[in-house]
Structure formats: C-alpha cells, structure tokens
Amino acid sequence: MNSESVQAELAEPYLAGVLSSAGLDAEYVRAEGNTLYRRGPDEQEIPVIDFAGGYGSLLFGHNNPEIVDCARRLLDDRVPVHAQFSLHSGANELARSLNRIVHRELGTTEPYFAIFANSGAEAVEAAMKCAELDRVLKVKAVADEIAANIEHARSAVHDGLAEVADDAWARFGHAPANTQDDRFDAVTHGIAAHNAGQLARPPVFLALEGGFHGKLVGSVQLSHNEDYRSPFAALAASARFVPRDRPEMLKQTADQERGVLLDVVVHGGVVRVVEREIPMVCAMLVEPIQGEGGIHELSRADAEVIQQVCAAIDCPIVVDEIQAGLGRTGAFLASSQIGLRGDYYVFAKSLGGGIAKTAAMLVREGRYRREFEMLHSSTFAKDGFSTPIALKVLAMLEAEEGKAYRLAEERGAALRRALDAIQADFPDVVKDVRGRGLMLGLEFRDQSAAASPAVREVAATGFLGYVLCGYLLRRHDIRTFPTASAVHTLRFEPSLLLTDGEIHRLDTALRDVCGVLADPAGTVA
C-alpha cells in the first residue's frame, strides 16, 4: 500500500463528506450515560448530550456501569464466547425470560420459540425465512394432495369407473381425444401447466407505507423508502404496501395476490376440476411506532383492523419491536399498549445493552416449524457473551416491579411537555410533535418558503434536517438526527437517565433553532 492510500479516507469516504457538509463530522472519544465526549481544538473534552441514543439502542445509556460490569465479569470468567452447535443454557434462560415478559403483557401462555441474530435486519430476515418455510410447507402439502388425487382419478378413469366432466374437457382439451384416458391426460396436462405457473410465483409480504425493517437484501424490500429499496428490488421477494392509516386495504391487496392450484375430484363417476387456494402472502410486517418513517404511532383502531384482516386471511403478523420495544415506550412491547398481538416478534438495539450486538426473533408455537433450526444459522448469533448481557438487560427492565418502564413513561412525558411547549410557541415552524415514552419526534414545517433566503437555500437541497442537527451540535452540543425516511422530523430517543437539566438544554437549543428558522435574516450554516 502506498503512503497516499494509507492517509486517504477509506472507511465509507463518501459518508464522511456528507457528515462534513452538514457539520456533523464530530469524532467521539468517550461516552457515558446520555453524554458523548469529543475533543476540542486544544484536546479538552467537550460533552455532547446524546438524544440519538445509538438510533434507539441505548435505553440504559452509554456504558451503563451495571452492564459494563456484567461484560467485564464474562470476560474475566473466560466464558466460552463461541461454542457453536453445543447446548446453551444461557440462551435458553434468555428465551424463557423473553417468554415470561411477553406472556405477561399479552395475557397468553402459548410458548414463543427464539432464534437469535446479530442485528435487527438479521432478526427480521429470520422471521421472513421462518414464515416462508411455513408457507412453502403448506403449499407443498396441497400440491402433494393434488398429485395423489390425480393418481386416484387416473385409475378410476382407466378402470372405466369415472369419466372426465365435459366442462373440464372444454377447458383443457385441444387435440382430438378418442378415449377417456386421452381426455384425462389432456386435462391433467392443463392442470400441471396452470399449477407450475402458480407454484413458480414468488411470495409477497404485506407492510405499511412509512415502515422500516432493515436494509439487508430481504428486509430492505419490506422497508417502504423507495430510495433504499428499488435499486435492489430484483434480489428478493417484494412487499405490497398500504397506507399506514388505511389498514383495511390489506384485505383487497391480499385478495389481488390470491394463489389458486387446480385439483381433481371424482364424484358420482365424474372427474371434475376444482380450485384449491394456496397461501401467497408470507407475512405482514408492522412497527407499533414507525421509527425511521418519522415517529408515527399505530393507533389501537388500526392495530385491530390489521389483526382482524390478518386473521381472516391466515397471515402471520411480524411485530417489529426493534426500535420501539424493550421498555422505551413504557412497556416491554410497544405493541401491547395498543392491543396488537404478533405471531412473531423481533428485537434488537437495546437488547444488547449498548455493549453487545444481539437480536432475537420469537415465533409462536402454532406457527413454528422446528425444521427451521436445521436450515438457518449464523456464526455469531446466540453467543456466550451477548446472551448473558441481554439477560442482564431484561433483569434491569424488570427490576423493582418494572421501575424502568415507569421511568421511560415519566421521563418521556417530561420531554414531551418541553417539545409540545415549543410547538405551541412556534406553530409556524413546528408542524407536529409525536411519539410515546422515550421515542419522540418533532417535525418541522417545510421551509422552502422560509422568510430567510439562507434557510430557503438549504431547504432546497433536501438536507435541512441534517443541517439543523449540525447547528444543534456546533452551537449547543446537542446530538440528534432526522429520522432516516422523513428528514423533517428530528428524533429524540435518549436513555432512561435523562435529566431535567438535559431536557432544559434541549429546550433552549430547539427554541434557538425555531427562532433562526422564523427570522428573515436567520442562518443555520
């Protein structure tokens, strides 16, 4: 390697340029609680209050001492981090603990089996694969029955016990056929061609507009943002999206995807062709609160419609709790607060306590196919370091009769009050404040007609949200970002440790931003 390339920026260099143009090119050297530290020009540490919270991964804050101690003990004890394909009582204890909490919140006792993963998208893809395996095996069972029915009918025709119905012959018969055997062959060729076409169709997923479920090859197709999705559309099964406030459209959408195989029945000496429905919709993906789509809560009424439609079409629901779940909104499952019940749950982010990279997918016994465990694996999933840390996270959430959940609600309400007051004071600048618990968003109005030419100019680039975050960082030492697919909405997902002082700092900073946006001479550069 020549010395020039050693000096060059090689780790996602384009991104580094984007960060720099938005004024977000800070490097952090230390972190604790809600604070990240960066170095100033004379090497002193500058504390920055972190409202981005690792995109919602830091419910217990950066380097939480209890979690750090747990990690340290594991390393000191030389736990086997990687002992794949062996028994793992820690993972089992984690799965049992997840079940205890989920059962309590859902009021059920049906077991949920756990598959572990390394990231949110990987857990989503495990759910996609598990749901597809279930669908494929159901389709195969129908196809096998059809094959057996055809053989049974063939014998009946051959033995002179049955004749091909005229309408079946009219549908498929082309060449002259002298015998009933010939007619039967023509009909079964037609059936085979139709069924092959149906069986070759890819499955489809259902999802809501604005939803985000990851950026890997499969999960990105379930994420609504077209920029992320469309370049890779050829790589995986696709989703049909319905507006998040029109979930009743799911029924009509699923009907359009209906899959039908043709079968034969022998009745009263006549062979008839009948239709057999096969599942084409693999699963419905839903976030109880859309995170990257701009912090939009799913209403209880819409959740009920989703539940009813999915039950009617026998479509499993995958509840994506990756960002909203694990206590952030005041309950372990944000979906339990709106009465939504999943066949699958996916968790990641805060499950690793801000230290480990871990994720889990739960699937209800009634939907589970045990064969999945022999078909799916991941080298680093279910390892001996991350599972005890995740177990520690659950213990911390559940401690003192769920003090953490109450704290999320209470701290979230305090933050919400501050954001609501800003909206009330700057109604021409702030369009909306949304969310629940410690998952809040503040949406700015479109600034393309702002009083200030400088603000208008930045708004025209589409990067205003990021530039405002750069301003918050430079002027106020506050860190946050826009949500990825709704860039006029700033996200606030701090830890449970959020203090009134930190809320006050944010309040001052956001009021300054609102003042700048409203000022004809305002500039955010």
Ligand X SMILES: Cc1ncc(COP(=O)(O)O)c(C=O)c1O
The footprint of ligand X (CB under 6 A) covers 55, 119-121, 124, 212-214, 287, 291-292, 320, 322-323, 348
Residues in the chain, overall count: 525
Distance in angstroms (rounded) separating the CA atoms of residues 484 and 344 = 25
Which CB atom, from 334 or from 517, has the smaller least distance to ligand X? Answer: 334
The distance of closest approach from Cβ of residue 497 to ligand X in the complex, given in angstroms and rounded to an integer, is 21
Which CB atom, from 173 or from 291, has the smaller least distance to ligand X? Answer: 291
Which CB atom, from 213 or from 341, has the smaller least distance to ligand X? Answer: 213
Distance in angstroms (rounded) separating the CA atoms of residues 272 and 167 = 8
Beta-carbon contacts of 509 under 8 Å, excluding residues fewer than 6 positions away, are 472, 475, 476, 478
CA atoms within 13 A on the CB side of 28: 18
The distance of closest approach from Cβ of residue 348 to ligand X in the complex, given in angstroms and rounded to an integer, is 5
The distance of closest approach from Cβ of residue 337 to ligand X in the complex, given in angstroms and rounded to an integer, is 16
DSSP 8-state secondary structure symbol assigned to residue 299: P
Residue 494 backbone phi and psi in degrees, to 5: -75, 180
The distance of closest approach from Cβ of residue 398 to ligand X in the complex, given in angstroms and rounded to an integer, is 23
CA–CA–CA angle 452, 292, 382 (5° rounding): 150
Distance in angstroms (rounded) separating the CA atoms of residues 273 and 168 = 6
The distance of closest approach from Cβ of residue 215 to ligand X in the complex, given in angstroms and rounded to an integer, is 7
Of 467, 481, 478, 522, the C-alpha closest to 504 is 478
The distance of closest approach from Cβ of residue 326 to ligand X in the complex, given in angstroms and rounded to an integer, is 12
The distance of closest approach from Cβ of residue 313 to ligand X in the complex, given in angstroms and rounded to an integer, is 23
The distance of closest approach from Cβ of residue 428 to ligand X in the complex, given in angstroms and rounded to an integer, is 31
The distance of closest approach from Cβ of residue 449 to ligand X in the complex, given in angstroms and rounded to an integer, is 32
Beta strand pairing status for 45-50 and 238-242?
Answer: unpaired
Which CB atom, from 214 or from 353, has the smaller least distance to ligand X? Answer: 214
- State which residue has the least CB distance to ligand X: 120
Of 87, 257, 63, 272, the C-alpha closest to 164 is 272
The distance of closest approach from Cβ of residue 248 to ligand X in the complex, given in angstroms and rounded to an integer, is 23
The distance of closest approach from Cβ of residue 120 to ligand X in the complex, given in angstroms and rounded to an integer, is 2
Distance in angstroms (rounded) separating the CA atoms of residues 338 and 286 = 12
Does an H or E element contain 113, and which?
strand 112-117
Residue 359 backbone phi and psi in degrees, to 5: -155, 160
Of 306, 349, 401, 455, the C-alpha closest to 101 is 401
The distance of closest approach from Cβ of residue 513 to ligand X in the complex, given in angstroms and rounded to an integer, is 24
Instruction: Point out which residues pair with 239 in neighbouring strands.
Output: 205
Residue 60 backbone phi and psi in degrees, to 5: -100, 10
Which CB atom, from 34 or from 485, has the smaller least distance to ligand X? Answer: 485
Distance in angstroms (rounded) separating the CA atoms of residues 487 and 297 = 17
Which CB atom, from 412 or from 522, has the smaller least distance to ligand X? Answer: 412
Residue 360 near residue 94 (C-beta atoms within 8 A): yes
Which CB atom, from 323 or from 480, has the smaller least distance to ligand X? Answer: 323
Residue 442 near residue 422 (C-beta atoms within 8 A): yes
DSSP 8-state secondary structure symbol assigned to residue 33: B
Distance in angstroms (rounded) separating the CA atoms of residues 394 and 406 = 15
Distance in angstroms (rounded) separating the CA atoms of residues 144 and 295 = 46
DSSP string of 357-390? --EEEEEEGGG--TTHHHH---TTTT-TTHHHHH
Which CB atom, from 216 or from 464, has the smaller least distance to ligand X? Answer: 216
Which CB atom, from 258 or from 376, has the smaller least distance to ligand X? Answer: 376
Which CB atom, from 135 or from 491, has the smaller least distance to ligand X? Answer: 491
Which CB atom, from 205 or from 426, has the smaller least distance to ligand X? Answer: 205
In 280-409, at which residue ranges do the beta strands (DSSP E only) sit?
281-286, 289-290, 296-297, 317-320, 344-347, 359-364
Which CB atom, from 386 or from 447, has the smaller least distance to ligand X? Answer: 386
Residue type, 195: N
